[in-house]
Structure 1
Amino acid sequence: MDADAIIIGAGACGLMCAVQAGYLGKRVIVLEKNDKPGAKILISGGGRCNYTNQFASAEQFISANPHFVKSAFTQWTVDDTVSFFETYGITGKEKTLGQLFPDEKNARDVVQVFTSICEDFGQEIRCNAEVKDIVILPDGFEVSYEKNGKLVTINTEKLVVAAGGLPIPKMGATDFALRFARKQGLNIIETAPALVPLTITGKDEEWFAQLSGNAVFSEVSNDEIAFEENILFTHWGLSGPAILQISSFWRRGQPININLLPNENIQVLLDEERKSNGKTMLSTLLNRYYTKKFTDALGKFLPLEKPVASLTKADIDLIDQTIHHFKVKPAGDKGYDKAEVMRGGIDTNELSSKTLECKKIPNLFFGGECVDVTGWLGGYNFQWAWASGFVIAQQL
């Protein structure tokens, strides 16, 4: 055998797995298709890397089996992630809603932690190594990969597939893990882009496009869930944290509701204004909460130049509907090019929740994004990657 284990993919899961295996005295070879490890780590959070979330639990993950992540999160906690990075000089700074970013460090430093430890342990990270074939042998696995135009074959007793999902093909993302799993007869939960901007077409397209660049703090909801963060208008539709969050729960053809003033009651504000100064124009009142450009755009729906005192009951009902129940029916999403993660993946029923070993094929493990575990925006997906990498390493 060339190593105790071969890990396919030098992303967050694969790198953590290699490091943790090193702590246990195991030698691994990591095969990475790209020319450097941690490609998606490097671009995460605009290069700052939101590496975990203080509130991470099973509640913030989407899966056909929502309980699946509990075992991994018991074995490797948020505190473990924080301690691990602190040991190597990266302390966390909370930005918002529990999101931890490196304080005075960035994504490059996060990747450097893993590559340095791998070097110390003699773990090999072979870049520009694209896996072409995997043969399952009676006593292990034969992995063939292409490097510099040559086909190289290596053998191992244990194999870890941490090859990621479909988002951001230009970063080297492929469906390798899914294709390999299907070839072995494993079930795949239908995949789709997640944490992705939504597109608006048709008669409303121009209205959204004219607001491109405007952000509004909102509550975005559907029948399942609600998120309260900024939405961002774009020339193709909607983006921003709240939209990315709801996108993971959205299906084509479904509407979403946007409360454009979630911490106020517009009817109460109108009533108070009527009592204090009924001559105030509706536009003046709305300008206290929105940019002038956004208020002006609401003029398509609302009587902006009416004094508050002159508003009829029908006007007030219309204002309430528009501000608190703004209905949007997205045409679609921006696809894997713009998605942060993939929804769906290898069915968790095919894996042991305690070890992430494939139930049908001994000594084969799947971790990270290729598994049907999708976190919310805000460091949750990294926590799953670190935890799944750790769990697998204990079995190598």
Structure 2
Amino acid sequence: MDADAIIIGAGACGLMCAVQAGYLGKKVIVLEKNEKPGAKILISGGGRCNYTNQFTTAEQFISENPHFIKSAFNQWTVGDTISFFETYGIEGKEKTLGQLFPDDKNAKDVVEVFTATCADLGQEIRTKADVKVIEILADGFKVTYEKNGKTITLKSEKLVIASGGLPIPKMGATDFALRFARKNNLKIIETAPALVPLTITGKDEEWFAQLSGNSVFCEVSNDEISFEENILFTHWGLSGPAILQISSFWRRGEVINLNLLPNENIASLVDGERKSNGKTLLSTLLNRFYTKKLTDALGKFLPLEKPVASLTKTEIESISKTIHEFKVKPAGDKGYDKAEVMRGGIDTNEISSKTLECKKIPNLFFGGECLDVTGWLGGYNFQWAWASGFVIAQNI
């Protein structure tokens, strides 16, 4: 055997698994298709890497089996993640909503923690290694990969597949894990882009496009869930944190609701303004909360040039509906090119929640994004990657 385990994928899960295995004196070889390890880590949080979230629980994850991740999160907590990175000089700083970023460092430093520690522990990371064949042997696994035109074969008793999901193809993402799972009769939960911008086409396209670049704090909701964060108008539709969040719960054909003024009541504001200065135009009132461009665009639906004292009861009801119940029916999403994560994946019922070992194929482990575990925006998916990498390392 060439190693105790072969790990396919040098992303967050694979790298954490390699380091944790090294702590336990286990020798692993990590095979990475890209030129460098940690491709998605490097672009996360705009290159700053929101590496965990202080509020992580199972509630912030989408899965057909929502209880599956609880065991991993009991074994590797947010506190463990914070302590791990502090050991290597990365102190967490909260940005918003529990998101932790490196205080005075960035995503490159996060990747460096793993590459340097793997080197110290004698763990090999082989880049430009394109895995072609996995053979299941009586005593382990045989992995054949290509590198620089050469075909190389490795054997190990245990195998870890942490090759990620379908986003982002230009960064080397593939359906490798899903193909292998299907080939070996493991059930797949239907996949789709998640944490992804939504597109608007048809008669409403021009209205949204004219607002491109405008951002507004909003409550975005559907029948299932709601999020309060900024939305961003784009020339093709909607983006921003609240839109990315709702996209994981949105299905084609559904309408989403935008409350464009979640912390106020527009009818009450109008009433208050009437008492203090009834000559105030509705546009002047709205400009206190929105950019002039957004206020002007809302003029398609609202009597902007009317003094608030002149507004009828029917008009105020219409204004309230527009501001607090702005309905949007997205045409679709921007796909895996722009998605941060994948929804769906390998059915967690195929995997032991305690060890992340495949139930049908002994000594085979899956972790990270290829499983049917999808976190919200804001460091949750990293926490799942670190936790799953740790759990696997204990069992290989």
Are residues 1:150 and 2:170 paired? Answer: no
Cα distance in 2 for residues equivalent to 1:342 and 1:262: 29
TM-score normalised per structure 1: 1.00
Cα distance in 2 for residues equivalent to 1:117 and 1:235: 44
Correspondence 1:154-165 to 2 at 5 A: 154-165=154-165
Are residues 1:371 and 2:381 paired? Answer: no
Are residues 1:117 and 2:120 paired? Answer: no
- Per-residue deviation, 1:150: 1.1
Correspondence 1:214-253 to 2 at 5 A: 214-253=214-253
Cα distance in 2 for residues equivalent to 1:122 and 1:194: 36
Partner of 2:194: 194
Specify every segment of 5 or more residues in structure 2 that has no aligned partner in the other structure, as ranges. Answer: none
TM-score normalised per structure 2: 1.00
Residues 152-201 of structure 1 show CA distances to partners (whole Å, capped at 9, x for unaligned) of 11000000000000001000000000000111100000000000000000
- Per-residue deviation, 1:313: 1.2
Partner of 2:280: 280
SS of the residue 1:101 aligns to: strand
- Per-residue deviation, 1:48: 0.2
Cα distance in 2 for residues equivalent to 1:191 and 1:23: 35
SS of the residue 2:145 aligns to: strand
SS of the residue 1:81 aligns to: helix
Partner of 2:45: 45
SS of the residue 1:233 aligns to: strand
Q: What root-mean-square deviation, in Å, do the aligned CA atoms of Structure 1 and Structure 2 show?
A: 0.3
Correspondence 1:312-327 to 2 at 5 A: 312-327=312-327
- Per-residue deviation, 1:272: 0.3
Please tell me the residue identity of whatever aligns with 1:167.
P
Please tell me the residue identity of whatever aligns with 1:250.
W
Are residues 1:22 and 2:22 paired? Answer: yes
Partner of 1:299: 299
Partner of 1:139: 139
- Per-residue deviation, 1:314: 1.3
SS of the residue 1:394 aligns to: helix
SS of the residue 2:135 aligns to: strand
Residues 20-74 of structure 1 show CA distances to partners (whole Å, capped at 9, x for unaligned) of 0000000000000000000010000110000000000100000000010100000
Residues 196-246 of structure 1 show CA distances to partners (whole Å, capped at 9, x for unaligned) of 000000000000000000000000000000000000000000000000000
Please tell me the residue identity of whatever aligns with 1:331.
A
- Per-residue deviation, 1:392: 0.2
Partner of 1:335: 335
Partner of 2:106: 106
Cα distance in 2 for residues equivalent to 1:341 and 1:151: 31
Cα distance in 2 for residues equivalent to 1:289 and 1:211: 15
SS of the residue 1:42 aligns to: helix
Instruction: Percent identity, please.
Output: 85
